[in-house]
Amino acid sequence: MKKNLRYVAIAFVIFYLLSSPQDAADVVNNAFTQLGKAGTQVADFVNALGK
């Protein structure tokens, strides 16, 4: 069952990428932006611990 769900999810992602590549690029760009912000916040937290 889990294997089938994985294939369905992969198929959905491929369909999404092919049907609206600009929206998919925006999602990826937003995800990387959020990861960058999270990394900056973690770095600020760690630096604050050292003070």
What does the pLDDT profile of the chain (51 residues) look like in tens digits?
878 999 999 999 889 888 998 988 898 899 999 999 999 999 999 999 987
pTM: 0.59
Counting every residue, how long is the chain? 51
> Could you give the CA distance from residue 47 to residue 51 in angstroms, rounded to a whole number?
7
| All structural domains of the chain with their residue ranges | 21-51
- Per-residue pLDDT at 3: 83
State whether residue 1 is helix, strand or coil.
Answer: coil
Please give the radius of gyration of the chain, using alpha carbons only, rounded to the nearest integer. 17
> 21: helix, coil or strand?
helix
